[in-house]
Amino acid sequence: MTKPSEAGETPARSIGRPVGFELRRVSLPLVRPFRTSLGTEADRDALLVKAVTTDVAGWGECVAMAEPLYSAEYLDGCADVIRHFLVPAIAACSAASATAVAEAYRHVRGHPMAKAAVETAVLDAQLRAAGMSLATFLGGTRERVDTGVSVGIMDAVGELLDVVAGYLDDGYRRIKLKIEPGWDVEPVRAVRERFGDDLLLQVDANGAYTPADASHLARLGPFDLLMIEQPLPEDDLTGHAALAARLRTPICLDESITSARSAAVAITMGATAVVNIKPGRVGGYLEARRIHDVCAAHGVPCWIGGMLETGLGRAPNLALAALPNCTLPGDISASSRYFRRDITEPFEIDNGQMAVPVGPGIGVDPDPDALASATVSTEWIPCGSRFGTAG
Ligand code: NPQ
Ligand code: MG
Catalogue all structural domains in the chain, each as residue range(s) with its CATH number. Answer: 18-131+368-390 (3.30.390.10), 136-355 (3.20.20.120)
pLDDT band at 3 (very low <50, low <70, confident <90, very high): very low
Contact 280, 116 (CB under 8 A): yes
- pLDDT tens for each residue of 298-311: 999 999 999 999 99
**Beta partners for residue 275, in sequence order:** 253, 302
Cβ of 308 below 6 Å from ligand 1: yes
- Cα 389 to ligand 2 centre (Å): 43
Report the alpha-carbon angle 249-211-228, nearest 5.
Answer: 25
Distance between Cα 307 and ligand 1 center (Å): 5
Whose alpha carbon is nearest atom 6 of ligand 1?
A: 307
Q: Is 303 in the pocket of ligand 1 (CB under 6 A)?
A: no
Residues of the chain above pLDDT 70, percent: 96
Which pairing describes strands 57-62 and 39-53: parallel, antiparallel, or unpaired?
A: antiparallel
Tens of pLDDT, residues 140-189: 999 999 999 999 999 999 999 999 999 999 999 999 999 999 999 999 99
Give the whole-number percent of the chain exceeding pLDDT 90.
Answer: 92
pLDDT one-digit tens code per residue, 277-334: 999 999 999 999 999 999 999 999 999 999 999 999 999 999 999 999 999 999 999 9
Torsion of CA 289, 326, 305, 190, to 10 degrees: -160
- Burial of 1 from C-beta contacts in 10 A (0-12 / 13-18 / 19+): exposed
For residue 386, pLDDT over 70 is answered with no
- Whether the predicted pLDDT of 135 surpasses 50: yes
Q: With bands split at pLDDT 50, 70 and 90, how would you rate the model's confidence at 126?
A: very high
Residue 253 Cβ contacting ligand 1 at under 6 Å: no
**Pairwise CA distance, residues 23 & 50, whole Å:** 7
Check residue 7 and give its pLDDT. 55
Q: Is the CB of 330 under 6 A from ligand 1?
A: no
pLDDT at position 365: 98
What are the start-end ranges of the H helices in 18-82?
A: 75-81
- Judged by average pLDDT, the poorest of 7-21, 198-212, 242-256 is 7-21
Q: How far is the CA of 36 from the centre of ligand 1 (A)?
A: 8
251 Cα–ligand 2 center, Å? 12
CA dist 292 and 33 (Å) reads: 32
Q: Does residue 246 have a pLDDT over 80?
A: yes
Is 73 a pocket residue for ligand 1 (Cβ < 6 Å)? no
Query: Which of 199-208, 245-254, 381-390 has the lowest average pLDDT?
Result: 381-390
Q: What's the pLDDT score for residue 4?
A: 37
Phi-psi region of 207 (alpha: psi -120 to 50; beta: other; left: phi over 0): left
Angle at 200 between CA 216 and CA 43, to 5 degrees: 80
Average pLDDT over residues 60-65: 98
User: What is the residue-wise DSSP string for 88-134?
Assistant: HHHHT-SS--HHHHHHHTTTS-S-HHHHHHHHHHHHHHHHHHHT-BH
For residues 11 and 267, the model is more confident at 267
> Atom 11 in ligand 1: which residue has the minimum CA distance?
41
Would the pLDDT of 70 be above 90?
A: yes
